[in-house]
Amino acid sequence: MSQKRAGEFTLIDLFLSQFPRARVPVGPGDDCAVLAPSKGAQCITTDAVVEDVHFTRAWFTPEDIGHKALAVNLSDLASMGAVPRWFVCALALPRDFPRRALLGIARGMSALARVHGIALVGGNFTSARELSITLTAAGELSPGTAPLTRAGGRPGDVLYVSGTLGDARLGLSHLQQGRRRSPAILRQKRPEPRIALGRLGARFASAALDISDGLAQDLGHLCAASGVGAELELESLPLSPSVRAALGPEGALAGGEDYELLLAVPPGRTSTFERACLRAEEPITRVGRLTEGPVGRIRGARGQGLRLPAGFDHFQGGGRIDRSGREG
């Protein structure tokens, strides 16, 4: 066995030491994981966090990076109404990457995995110029439950968002200003996937998606997929006092990486949905409704046209972190 391969297996063992043994027929260590069949439909997603795009090591601890890498994938599962089950992890590491930092990434990832009961069942290590973590995560729908998609919305459906908006964008701004702690910075570093709300949404909603690129852009995606327009109540957007003061509703609309959920609920189900969320202590806010065409057109609640800010686009600039730490 070459020294290079021995080093790779040492890193794998070090990373796996932070995770409980996966209860699957075949887990980490073979060429493939083997998973037992399930009764519900499977939802599969993949996403990556990349150094100097989604985080910088100067601002994020290894634990932050591990948490965020898993959280963004769990948020996708939440938007479909799925229960998290398994994930695989591919890490690309610089050759001089400290083992202590690798352990920190594993700790942050495994802590969130335990909270949501998702098991690491396999993955890969490779060397690279920059740190990146790519996960593929799987979740299950309850038997007989249809997945929530972007395409199920209908005119008249009421729009809800979870939590508050714009915090992650404000947190990035705080980091750029040299601050190291604030509630907004925590939201940028440690997003919390809305798994429980997604399961509620599967019972009541017609369409949903997670807000990763800003509400303005993601609402446009839902409208385009559903073939509808929308009316948005800017004054109703749920904003923390600090976001309201620093960004206002328009700035919050463009804030990427909120990882909250946007749900469309038929009007006949809104009362029971709101009561269910209240019992589950899942914060939601009505922010508008879907309308008949023009498809994708988003207006104000009084019918006025809105000049909505663009959200994040990896290939056209947006709100992530570039090498200099600026918003790019």
User: Does the annotation flag 124 for ligand binding?
Assistant: yes
CA distance 235 to 239: 10
Do residues 156 and 136 share a domain?
no
Confidence of residue 320 (pLDDT cuts 50, 70, 90): low
Residues with Cβ < 8 Å from 13, sequence gap 6 or more?
none
User: Does the annotation flag 31 for ligand binding?
Assistant: yes
Task: Give a yes or no: residue 250 inside a domain.
Answer: yes
For the domain that residue 227 is a member of, what is the CATH number?
Answer: 3.90.650.10
Span 194-215, mean pLDDT?
96
User: Does the annotation flag 167 for ligand binding?
Assistant: no
Q: pLDDT tens digits for 266-311?
A: 999 999 999 999 999 999 999 999 999 777 677 765 655 655 555 5
Do residues 27 and 87 share a domain?
yes
Tell me the residue range of the domain where 270 lies.
Answer: 150-300
pLDDT at 30: 78
Q: Average pLDDT, whole number, for the chain?
A: 89
Strand pairing report for 284-291 and 229-232? antiparallel
Span 165-181, mean pLDDT?
95
Q: pLDDT tens digits for 141-165?
A: 999 889 999 999 999 999 999 999 9
pLDDT at 303: 55
Span 299-324, mean pLDDT?
53
Residue 51 has what DSSP assignment? B
| Token pair 């009541």: residue | 204
Q: Which residues pair with 91 in a beta bridge?
A: 125, 133
Of 43-57, 84-98, 173-187, 309-323, least confident by mean pLDDT is 309-323
Do residues 50 and 99 share a domain?
yes
pLDDT at 323: 34
User: Does the annotation flag 221 for ligand binding?
Assistant: no
Residue 201: pLDDT over 60: yes
Domain count, the chain: 2
Task: Give a yes or no: residue 229 inside a domain.
Answer: yes
- Asked if residues 130 and 86 have their Cβ atoms less than 8 Å apart, the reply is no
User: Does the annotation flag 312 for ligand binding?
Assistant: yes
303: buried, middle or exposed (CB in 10 Å: 19+, 13-18, 0-12)?
Answer: exposed
Q: Report the run of H or E that residue 204 belongs to, with start and end.
A: helix 195-204
pLDDT at 138: 96
CA distance 302 to 1: 70
User: Does the annotation flag 258 for ligand binding?
Assistant: no
Residues with Cβ < 8 Å from 271, sequence gap 6 or more?
none
Name the percent of the chain lying above pLDDT 70.
88
Count of C-beta atoms within a 10 Å radius of residue 310:
16
101: buried, middle or exposed (CB in 10 Å: 19+, 13-18, 0-12)?
Answer: middle
Residue 86 has what DSSP assignment? E
User: Does the annotation flag 13 for ligand binding?
Assistant: no
Residue 200: pLDDT over 90: yes
For the domain that residue 69 is a member of, what is the CATH number?
Answer: 3.30.1330.10
Closest CA to 273 of 208, 215, 197: 197
pLDDT at 306: 59
Do residues 158 and 296 share a domain?
yes
User: Angle of helix 3-16 relative to helix 99-116, nearest 10 degrees?
Assistant: 40
User: Does the annotation flag 313 for ligand binding?
Assistant: no
Task: Give a yes or no: residue 27 inside a domain.
Answer: yes
Dig out the tokens for 175 from the structure: 């980091």
Do residues 19 and 135 share a domain?
yes
Confidence of residue 60 (pLDDT cuts 50, 70, 90): very high
Task: Give a yes or no: residue 313 inside a domain.
Answer: no
User: Does the annotation flag 210 for ligand binding?
Assistant: yes
User: Does the annotation flag 291 for ligand binding?
Assistant: no
Residue 300 has what DSSP assignment? E
Span 235-264, mean pLDDT?
94
Closest CA to 265 of 186, 165, 178, 148: 148
- Asked if residues 229 and 297 have their Cβ atoms less than 8 Å apart, the reply is yes
User: Does the annotation flag 150 for ligand binding?
Assistant: yes
Specify the higher pLDDT residue, 7 or 130: 130
Dig out the tokens for 23 from the structure: 């209860």
User: Does the annotation flag 145 for ligand binding?
Assistant: no
Name the percent of the chain lying above pLDDT 90.
72
